[in-house]
């Protein structure tokens, strides 16, 4: 463990931390802007040019609001809930390969914080942890609405993690690795996994909507029935932490989908571009391409949110257990048969 | 519902197509403080106390507007016109204090119907927002029409 290694990792962590925070903050603005555009409005446009400083204003408002901790709540858990939600949503980005290795002063610097060989499993673990933040917060609030929201969140996550995992198995049969870095490298050029796993991607997409608690699966925070769902009792910055965690989860889910199915930092003609621009600018362009894919997914999340109404709870469970799980299993079987046939040919 | 319908996807894609088309439609927003929507002819806004052709206040402080007001938003104190004030007030009695509480007012227009002197009309702009309740009690300084420049020249 040399000094340069530690410095480069710390720099990378800092950069990714800042990028995640910025993206999450501006997602809130983008959400309101896109909601406006889809409804023939213009969205927030008063704070700064075109509303550019709206996230700052919102953040300040969150900070300066009074923090209310209900008397009958369990205080430690009440604080732990949003902290855990925020913490786990930051963890996932550690194994996302943000670009190819860049060369600084003769050193190969990896644009991935850590390349653990079970990267996909790590992400699944972290994402499932995220529901604990919601459950603990909902339980600690000592409020029936919060508890209902937390229960819904828990059962929804468990139901949709099964088809999520099953859709990934079909992908892993194709890639033969769990390392995010290797999966990204296999999709060189335009050899993206989406062309081999369209059904798997569709299942993964639907499940990630459910995992991030976004409409049409936002029953844990269903305003019409549960006031505010699991964050009914939260105010001020703790409420902000929950909201931030939601947008960070969306960012992470978009990054995972781009990496697993849409070729991560790969794009057609990348070899030519890398030769022309060198070993520093080239990978950075790749990183920009990945960011573009992530933004496209975030837009999709918002586009769907402002189009579709919320599912009813029984519809949600029917979709998860009776449709997505059989589809995912069928997808595994078909993938297995096709792989075997191609091997025998 | 058959299997394809139970997937919801065709309907969802259809809906997303509709919302996407709306992104490029003309925005309905009116940028309010800069641009104002066109008001209809019988629109009722802020009250104004009128002056007659010679620039004298028409109000004679009879109190019919305050009596007719269902929200009890109008209060007034009457005073006798003194010698030498004939150019200011048309009648022998006038309102020394005339206050309308804009938070109580429901803009029904009964005061302008009740007024026998045609002294009050709800033909002003939208009543602006403010921070304090006391600032919503409008006195004569805000209500009475500007004196007509032409008459004084």
CB contact at 8 A, A209 and A218: no
User: What are the structural domains of chain B?
Assistant: 48-152 (3.30.70.3270)
User: A41 — contact with chain B (CB < 8 Å)?
Assistant: yes
Judging contacts by C-beta atoms under 8 Å, the chain B residues touching residue A40 are: 22, 25-29
Classify each residue of A194-208 as buried b or exposed e, where b means 16 or more C-beta atoms within 10 Å of its C-beta: eebbeebbbbbbbbb
pLDDT (0 to 100) of residue A107:
75
DSSP A323: I
Backbone angles phi, psi at A13, to 5 degrees: -60, -45
CA pair distance B25, A39, nearest whole angstrom: 9
Taking a contact as any Cβ pair under 8 Å apart, which residues of chain A between 92 and 121 contact chain B? none
Q: Domain range spanning residue A253?
A: 3-344
CA pair distance B148, B153, nearest whole angstrom: 9
CA pair distance A29, A40, nearest whole angstrom: 17
Give the model confidence (pLDDT) of A196-255 as tens digits. 888 888 889 888 888 888 878 887 777 777 777 788 888 888 888 888 888 998 998 899
Judging contacts by C-beta atoms under 8 Å, the chain A residues touching residue B8 are: 319
**3-state class (DSSP) for residue B95:** strand
Q: Do A304 and B23 touch (CB under 8 A)?
A: no
Taking the CA atoms of A280, A281, A282 and A286 in sequence, report the sign of the dihedral they define: positive
pTM above 0.90, yes or no: no
The residues near A124 (Cβ < 8 Å, ≥ 6 apart) are A161, A164, A165, A168
pLDDT (average), residues B20-34: 85
CA pair distance B46, B58, nearest whole angstrom: 18
Query: How high is the mean pLDDT of chain A?
Result: 85
Give the model confidence (pLDDT) of A98-131 as tens digits. 888 777 777 777 778 888 888 888 888 888 888 8
pLDDT band (50, 70, 90) for residue B7: low
User: Which of A33, A37, A330 to mutate against chain B (most B CBs within 10 Å)?
Assistant: A37
**Nearest CA to A123 among A156, A84, A154, A92?**
A92
Q: How many domains, chain A?
A: 1
Which residues does chain A have with pLDDT short of 70? 1
ipTM for the predicted complex comes to 0.71
**3-state class (DSSP) for residue B77:** strand
């Amino acid at each position: 463990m040399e000094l340069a290694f530690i410095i480069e990792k710390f720099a990378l962590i800092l950069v990714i931390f800042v990028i995640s925070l910025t993206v999450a903050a501006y997602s809130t603005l983008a959400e309101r802007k896109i909601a406006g555009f889809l409804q023939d409005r213009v969205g927030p446009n008063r704070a700064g040019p075109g509303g550019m400083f709206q996230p700052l204003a919102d953040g300040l408002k969150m900070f300066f609001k009074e923090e209310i901790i209900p008397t009958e709540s369990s205080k430690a858990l009440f604080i732990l809930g949003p902290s855990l939600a925020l913490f786990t949503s930051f963890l996932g980005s550690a194994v996302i390969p943000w670009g190819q290795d860049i060369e600084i002063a003769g050193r190969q610097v990896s644009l991935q914080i850590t390349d653990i060989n079970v990267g996909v499993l790590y992400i699944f673990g972290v994402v499932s942890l995220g529901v604990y933040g919601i459950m603990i917060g909902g339980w600690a609030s000592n409020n029936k609405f919060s508890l209902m929201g937390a229960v819904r969140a828990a059962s929804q996550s468990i139901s949709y993690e099964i088809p999520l995992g099953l859709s990934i198995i079909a992908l892993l049969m194709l890639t033969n690795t769990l390392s995010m870095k290797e999966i990204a490298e296999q999709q060189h050029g335009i050899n993206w996994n989406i062309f081999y796993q369209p059904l798997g991607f569709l299942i993964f997409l639907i499940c990630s909507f459910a995992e991030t608690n976004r409409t049409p699966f936002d029953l844990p925070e269903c305003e019409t029935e549960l006031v505010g769902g699991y964050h009914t009792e939260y105010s001020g910055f703790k409420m902000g932490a929950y909201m931030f965690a939601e947008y960070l989860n969306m960012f992470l889910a978009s990054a995972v989908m781009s990496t697993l199915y849409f070729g991560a930092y790969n794009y057609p003609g990348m070899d030519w571009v890398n030769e022309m621009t060198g070993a520093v600018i080239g990978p950075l362009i790749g990183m920009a391409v990945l960011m573009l894919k992530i933004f496209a997914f975030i837009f999709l999340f918002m586009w769907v949110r402002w189009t579709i109404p919320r599912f009813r709870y029984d519809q949600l469970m029917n979709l998860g257990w009776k449709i997505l799980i059989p589809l995912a299993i069928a997808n595994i079987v078909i993938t297995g048969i096709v792989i075997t046939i191609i091997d025998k040919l | 519902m058959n299997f394809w319908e139970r997937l919801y996807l065709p309907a969802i894609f259809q809906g997303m197509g509709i919302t996407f088309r709306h992104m490029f439609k003309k925005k309905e927003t009116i940028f309010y403080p800069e641009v104002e929507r066109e008001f209809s002819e019988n629109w009722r806004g802020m009250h104004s106390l009128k002056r007659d052709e010679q620039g004298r206040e028409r109000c004679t402080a009879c109190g019919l507007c305050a009596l007719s007001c269902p929200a009890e938003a109008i209060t007034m104190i009457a005073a006798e016109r003194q010698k030498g004030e004939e150019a200011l007030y048309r009648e022998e009695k006038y309102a020394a204090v005339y206050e309308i509480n804009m938070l109580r007012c429901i803009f029904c227009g009964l005061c302008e119907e009740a007024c026998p002197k045609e002294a009050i009309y709800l033909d002003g702009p939208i009543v602006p927002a403010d921070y304090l309740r006391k600032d919503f009690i409008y006195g004569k300084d805000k209500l009475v029409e500007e004196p007509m420049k032409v008459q004084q020249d």
